Structure 1
Amino acid sequence: MNLLGKKNAYLREAHERYMRPVVFKRWTYPNENFDRHTYQKGATILNMLRRILGDAPFRSAMTHFLTKHAFQPVDTHDLIDAIKEATGENIEWFFEQWIYRAGHPVLDVSYQWSKPAGRLSVRVRQTGDVYRTPVQIGVHTPSRRYSETFWLESANATLELDVAEKPLLVRFDEGNYLLKEWTFEKSTEELVYQLENDDVIGRMWAASELGDHPAVAETARRDRFWSVRRAAIEALGEKASVELLREAALDENSKVRAEAFRGLGETKNTELVPFIEERFRRDDSYVAQAEALRALGAIADPSSKTLLEEASGIDSPRDVVGRAARWALSELSELDDRSNE
């Protein structure tokens, strides 16, 4: 989950601001390079490097690098050399495409299964720059689950697997190692199966693809892992029922409760104000409390003013509760200004 968050943070920056190489020598102020390309993208690149080298060789290379250059200034070439010295692997190609080049793979994925041949063909089209990278294909059939690893090395690739039975699920990049943007069109039937049977990342992705399908609402209530429940509520968006959101506001996980409060705020329903205020007072999570206050600000009912003023003085890490309360009060103030015009 931590790495997924880092990938998404980098991709948002890449879409909303800019794309640059990780190693980049142009800036107005040095601190400009302390961004999501350096940290979040850098972390995901290290994880991909670990997968390519293997856990033990990766640890050996990192130990050698840190020991050899202890208390010394270093650059990227020192790391490349240390990896080669520790593992015998020349990994310059990896750094060239991931560190010295801007961007990331953009993929269009599809598949076909041939019953007579008992073959599964997974087609991968790289619509941007071509990346050389391993990718794991997972397959669920009625009788077994298995996976194979392939290398992508061209703009268009067809990956062939022996699959005797019709697949229930074809998973591209099983394990979610690859930093990527991608499209993978699937049937509703397969997505519902994936939502119920895949790993956490796969279930989250299936929820986002299914949107307001009834199975997503059930997942929001019943899935065994909190991030899938939260992803399901987010996928439902404005289609999430008030009943579901009220249930989710009582979830055992604070991040699910926070997502539920966000949804309740978007309803603009003033009848929910007493419920949200009660949950704010009972919740033991600053993050969830802050979202409850933002929900009150989004609804902008004047009856919330007393609680918001009280909450604006609550101490919390990074003042998360106070800032949310003051934002909500500003929403109430804007409403008053508009009504007096």
Structure 2
Amino acid sequence: MRKLFALGLSLIALLSYQIASAQSTEDSIQFEGESVELYKYRASKTRYFDLLHTQLDVSFDWAKEQLIGRAQLRLKPYFYAQAELALDAKGMEIKSVGLLGSSGKLKVLKYEYDGREMNIVLDKVYERKDTLDIVIEYIAKPNELEAGGSEAITGDKGLYFINANGGDPKKPQQIWTQGETEASSVWFPTIDAPNERCTQEISITVEDKFNTLSNGLLVNQKNNTDGTRTDTWKLDIPHAPYLFMMSVGEYAVINDTWRDIPVNYHVEKRFEKDGKKIFGNTPEMMEFFSEKLGVDFPWPKYDQVVVRDFVSGAMENTTASVFMERLQVTEKELLDFNWDDIIAHELFHQWFGDYVTCESWANLTLNEGFASYSEYLWNEYKYGIDEADFNLLNDRDQYFEEAAEEAKDLIRFYYEDKEDMFDSHSYNKGAAVLHMLRNYLGDDAFFVGLNHYLTSNALKSVELADLRMAFEEVSGEDLNWFFDQWFFFAGHPEIIVSQTFESDTLSVIIQQVQSSEAPVYRLPLFMEIWSDGSSENYPIVLEDSVEIYQFPMTKKPDLVVFDSERQLLAEVMHAKSAEEYAFQILHSKSFESRLEAMEALPDIKDKKIIQTILTQGLQDSHYIIQQFALDYMMENGIKPKKYQELIDKAYVHESSNVRSYVVAYLAKTDFEENILRIKKSLDDPSFLVQSTALTYWFRNQQPLTPEKLQSFSQETNVNMVLAMSEYYLTQGDEASYQWFVDKAPDLNEEGLYFLLQSYAEKLVNAPDDKRKAAVDFYANYAQNHPSYFVRLSAFQGLVLLTDVAGVDQLLQEIKEKEKDERLLELYEQF
């Protein structure tokens, strides 16, 4: 799909005419022999009414997986007089619609309903000074809606019942909601648009054994005579309807606080002792972000709840974020990684997205770009600049990969589906652009600008111009050039840097070689030049496609570092010699410079230079650099002789990532020589180290004690499961098959994906009775699991069983029932 700006400004008038003339969502024109797709202009929703308050009373029919609701909506005409009211209400059975009079009596109103929108005929024409209360009794039937979704949010039915009949002993009964993008209107009638905002009160009636959670504060609990309880949650600060939430389940609630504001963590009861370890940095994050932004956390409380089978990674509902079940890990698993990035991301949304909200999905990066950049800010503060830069580099690479497939404008007013906005452009490119803006303005101006943006737009919906003007008012500078090139053009700079030294002059030639469809970027940056062991940073501003900078020097420099702050979102090609890479890892301090030298190792032939880079890499302060060094040594069979002292230090490194790489290195270079160290690592505190040692232990046919075999077989950590699967792949007894079957229900989606792959490998050469028995096992996951990549893994397993009678027909039935377009495309490849 090609975008408007990518075709050249001279075509704007023609394309605008074609778009205005199109009668359908999608149209096309012919341009230079190509068919160019066009999509409707995606404007902010026109507001005919202002939704002031939503009051809901809900209960549930678990057997039918339905919600029984009563909604009372207070509204007023936005400006013009209105005689009808349109509300979003998807897949509902409407029982009644009425107007609540001042006496408390309901006047029945006529309405039309097409299954997605209600058009209510009011009893008179209402002016903008008038306020009216509409009462709707309804039944929400989410399972009767046609399924939809996207890669980021895999389901859009709004309301989800998990293990509703309680038939799965391995899974709790839960109800939860997911409103983004426009799915809140599946469980209550509303004006389902991001530029709407209202206060709310929700009364939830459930069996007394269940906990409830919603936005705002729990203001009342009432025990009913039938064994149920009604909890009433209230939020007096207006927010967008897509941020409304509910969850119902049996939870352990861990109480915490930040500046007297309640901060609670809701996890399944078996993770009660781990909940504080998982989420415990939240108060420190709230303090850090509040101080950094100069705007205190703006809501009366903050809850975080983990649910089963969530349709996304997490969701930033106002005052109550929802997270996928993978966050439920043990304290031991947290030795190998943490979930700080996703926790910080959803928390930062409480400012950027909830407190100040994008007015349309075209402006989504004003929510997601900021939330993604919060991960950088938190890592920089908590774990250091190297960790922040490492994660930003990974995010940039994901964006570059996506842009290579299809580059898109960051602010997109033309798209096929609003779900398409949830991509690496809106998230990763958005964060990278903010990082460049911070570097350009400087920290003081950047954070004062963010404060001004938040305070001047508090509890409002915004577009990109609001952000630009906030920074312009603070900095005093016209920033149109920056915002235009980064937000309204697809792509990014592609730069070739070359240099020559002649006649006491260093010449650096910089070419922007990106497609002609992209602009020639204006790029303020620094160039660092090293000579005689010291460096100087030179500020430059690129504005032309080719520029040459000359520097008088008495001798050839040791190193030139283009964009020495490493802040530029660009693909840069800058050829360097082996000697320059060695100098770079020794002297240039940025993480990217050190990593760049490590990545150059495969192309370096000089053994002394390789040794210099490896020696420096093995003692680098960041675990990723050390891992690169160890990985290179493994791949090239380099023995530890010259590096023994550094290997010894890495073996006891504080990072389990480094320790696991050392174990792999020792095992691959000389297992027998290092067997005692590898055996010792079987008892390492870290699952990651244990599983690495265990993998090589099995590959070298070493036995385990019965006690260790039993203990390791019971673990549900994904790395341990993968390691143990290697053992059970080699066994032929009944128990080895049963281990895979018994292990599956205990695993989260990530572990299950890999287990299904591994079991399929075992089944390839299994006896016929084992292959037949596995069909139902794989079919259940292929047909019923909520995670699309688990269904994919199960489908692949079935493909390997096609010699079993009936499997071909089963595969066809699975294809016919599958709604996820991504999976259907993949299935056709089998």
**TM-score, length-scaled by structure 2:** 0.35
Q: Which residue of 2 aligns with 1:135?
A: 525
1:82-93 superposed matches below 5 A: 82-93=470-481
Q: Is contact 2:445-2:474 (8 Å) kept?
A: yes
Q: Is contact 2:651-2:662 (8 Å) kept?
A: yes
Superimposed CA distance per residue, residues 109-167 of structure 1 (whole angstroms, 9 cap, x where no aligned partner): 111223x42x3211111111421111211122224222111111111111223433432
1:315-326 superposed matches below 5 A: 320-321=750-751, 323-326=753-756
Q: Which residue of 1 aligns with 2:452?
A: 64
Q: 1:73 aligns to what SS in structure 2?
A: strand
Q: Structure 2: how far apart are the matches of 1:124 and 1:300?
A: 57
Of 171, 194, 204 in structure 1, the residue corresponding to residue 595 of structure 2 is 204
Matched, 1:302 2:688: no
Q: Structure 1: how far apart are the matches of 2:412 and 2:563?
A: 29
Q: 2:539 aligns to what SS in structure 1?
A: strand
Offset at residue 276 of structure 1 (A): 7.8
Q: Structure 2: how far apart are the matches of 1:179 and 1:298?
A: 42
Q: 1:282 aligns to what SS in structure 2?
A: coil
Q: Which residue of 1 aligns with 2:579?
A: 189
Superimposed CA distance per residue, residues 167-194 of structure 1 (whole angstroms, 9 cap, x where no aligned partner): 2211111121101112111111111221
Q: Is contact 1:120-1:160 (8 Å) kept?
A: yes
The alpha-carbon distance between structure 1 residues 133 and 278, as it changes in their structure 2 partners (threshold 3 A), is: same
Q: Structure 1: how far apart are the matches of 2:563 and 2:442?
A: 17
Q: Is contact 1:297-1:331 (8 Å) kept?
A: no
Q: Is contact 1:212-1:239 (8 Å) kept?
A: no
Q: Which 5+ residue runs of structure 2 have no aligned equivalent?
A: 1-389, 605-609, 692-717, 772-799, 804-830
Matched, 1:284 2:692: no
Matched, 1:145 2:535: yes
The alpha-carbon distance between structure 1 residues 99 and 204, as it changes in their structure 2 partners (threshold 3 A), is: same
Counterpart of 1:192 in structure 2: which amino acid?
A
Q: Is contact 2:526-2:565 (8 Å) kept?
A: yes
Matched, 1:176 2:573: no
Matched, 1:3 2:3: no
Of 495, 505, 509 in structure 2, the residue corresponding to residue 123 of structure 1 is 509
Q: Structure 1: how far apart are the matches of 2:553 and 2:564?
A: 17
Offset at residue 321 of structure 1 (A): 4.9
- Structure in which a larger fraction of residues adopt helix: 1
Q: 2:686 aligns to what SS in structure 1?
A: coil
* RMSD, aligned CA: 4.2
Q: Structure 2: how far apart are the matches of 1:299 and 1:108?
A: 50
Q: Structure 1: how far apart are the matches of 2:481 and 2:664?
A: 44
Q: Structure 1: how far apart are the matches of 2:580 and 2:490?
A: 34
Q: Which 5+ residue runs of structure 1 have no aligned equivalent?
A: none
The alpha-carbon distance between structure 1 residues 136 and 36, as it changes in their structure 2 partners (threshold 3 A), is: same
Counterpart of 2:473 in structure 1: which amino acid?
E
Q: Which residue of 2 aligns with 1:75?
A: 463
Of 423, 427, 440 in structure 2, the residue corresponding to residue 39 of structure 1 is 427
Counterpart of 1:45 in structure 2: which amino acid?
V
Q: Which residue of 2 aligns with 1:112?
A: 500
Q: Which residue of 2 aligns with 1:14?
A: 403
Q: Is contact 2:633-2:665 (8 Å) kept?
A: no
Q: Identical aligned pairs, as a percentage?
A: 26
Offset at residue 86 of structure 1 (A): 2.1
Q: Structure 2: how far apart are the matches of 1:212 and 1:298?
A: 34
Q: Which residue of 2 aligns with 1:23?
A: 411
Q: Structure 1: how far apart are the matches of 2:592 and 2:542?
A: 22
The alpha-carbon distance between structure 1 residues 178 and 171, as it changes in their structure 2 partners (threshold 3 A), is: same
- Structure in which a larger fraction of residues adopt strand: 2
The alpha-carbon distance between structure 1 residues 73 and 256, as it changes in their structure 2 partners (threshold 3 A), is: same
Matched, 1:225 2:622: yes
Q: Which residue of 1 aligns with 2:705?
A: none
Q: Which residue of 2 aligns with 1:100?
A: 488
Q: Is contact 2:687-2:719 (8 Å) kept?
A: no
Offset at residue 221 of structure 1 (A): 3.0
Q: Once structures 1 and 2 are overlaid, which stretch shifts more, 42-51 or 129-138?
A: 129-138
Q: What is the count of residue pairs matched by the alignment?
A: 332
Counterpart of 1:226 in structure 2: which amino acid?
Y
Offset at residue 335 of structure 1 (A): 6.5
Q: Structure 1: how far apart are the matches of 2:471 and 2:749?
A: 43
The alpha-carbon distance between structure 1 residues 224 and 212, as it changes in their structure 2 partners (threshold 3 A), is: farther
Q: 2:501 aligns to what SS in structure 1?
A: strand
Q: Is contact 1:238-1:263 (8 Å) kept?
A: no
1:231-310 superposed matches below 5 A: 231-233=628-630, 238-239=635-636, 241=638, 251-257=653-659, 279=681, 282=684, 284-285=686-687, 289=691, 290=718, 302=730, 309=740
The alpha-carbon distance between structure 1 residues 19 and 144, as it changes in their structure 2 partners (threshold 3 A), is: same
Q: Structure 2: how far apart are the matches of 1:300 and 1:198?
A: 48
Superimposed CA distance per residue, residues 11-35 of structure 1 (whole angstroms, 9 cap, x where no aligned partner): 12223x3211111133343222111
Q: 1:94 aligns to what SS in structure 2?
A: helix
Offset at residue 202 of structure 1 (A): 0.5
Q: Structure 2: how far apart are the matches of 1:95 and 1:171?
A: 26
Q: Structure 1: how far apart are the matches of 2:761 and 2:571?
A: 36
Q: Structure 2: how far apart are the matches of 1:68 and 1:176?
A: 32
Q: Structure 2: how far apart are the matches of 1:335 and 1:256?
A: 36
Q: Once structures 1 and 2 are overlaid, which stretch shifts more, 215-224 or 76-85?
A: 215-224
**TM-score, length-scaled by structure 1:** 0.79
The alpha-carbon distance between structure 1 residues 9 and 164, as it changes in their structure 2 partners (threshold 3 A), is: same
Structure showing greater Rg: 2
The alpha-carbon distance between structure 1 residues 36 and 237, as it changes in their structure 2 partners (threshold 3 A), is: farther
The alpha-carbon distance between structure 1 residues 263 and 270, as it changes in their structure 2 partners (threshold 3 A), is: closer
Q: 2:440 aligns to what SS in structure 1?
A: helix
Q: Structure 1: how far apart are the matches of 2:507 and 2:637?
A: 37
Counterpart of 2:511 in structure 1: which amino acid?
R
